Amino acid sequence: MDMPPSYRSSAFNNMLGAELISLANGQSEVRLRMRPELGNRGGKLHGGALFTLVDIAMGLACSDSHGFDQLSATLECKINYLRAVSDGEVVCRAKVIHAGRRTLVLEADVLQGDTLVAKAQGTFAMINSPAG
């Protein structure tokens, strides 16, 4: 997909293996494939990996909404885990539901196929990027 010139994936996103699928109109879709190193002791996708996927997708939706010339920071995020993931991949769909002057409110669904595995809502702050 074509990305804005100022978009850069973070080293952490790359380490996790998060893959951007789409980004437009304050919405993003990010994919994560289950790997053994992302599992918990029970062999399921770790809740922290799912939460990080949500945070990545929400952050990208923020950047698309307010522009990649500004940074955003997570102020708070609540997640409900609905189903365990044993294998395959999940996709997080995040969207801005309110864009204020300084904060944005987002919601996100994490799906495996058509099955909802997690639901989240978060608030992000807009931060001016440092010069240079």
Do the Cβ atoms of 68 and 29 come closer than 8 Å? no
Question: Does the residue 65 lie in any domain?
Answer: yes
Q: Is residue 99 part of a domain?
A: yes
Structural domains in the chain (count): 1
CA 68 – CA 104 distance, rounded (Å): 14
Domain contains 93: yes
CATH of the domain at 28: 3.10.129.10
Task: Walk along the chain (132 residues) and give the pLDDT tens digit of each residue.
Answer: 566 555 667 888 888 999 999 999 999 999 999 999 999 999 999 999 999 999 999 999 999 999 888 889 999 999 999 999 999 999 999 999 999 999 999 999 999 999 999 999 999 999 876 654
Tokens standing for 64? 């698309």
Beta strands, E only, the chain: 19-24, 27-33, 70-81, 89-99, 103-112, 115-128
* Domain presence at residue 98: yes
pTM: 0.92
Report how far apart, in Å, the C-alpha atoms of 62 and of each of 36, 56, 82, 86, 93 are: 30, 10, 25, 30, 13
State the residue range of the domain holding 116.
11-128
Map residue 70 onto helix, strand or coil. strand
d(CA 93, CA 124): 16
Does 118 map to a domain? yes
Token pair of 79 as six digits: 């997640």
- 1 located within any domain: no
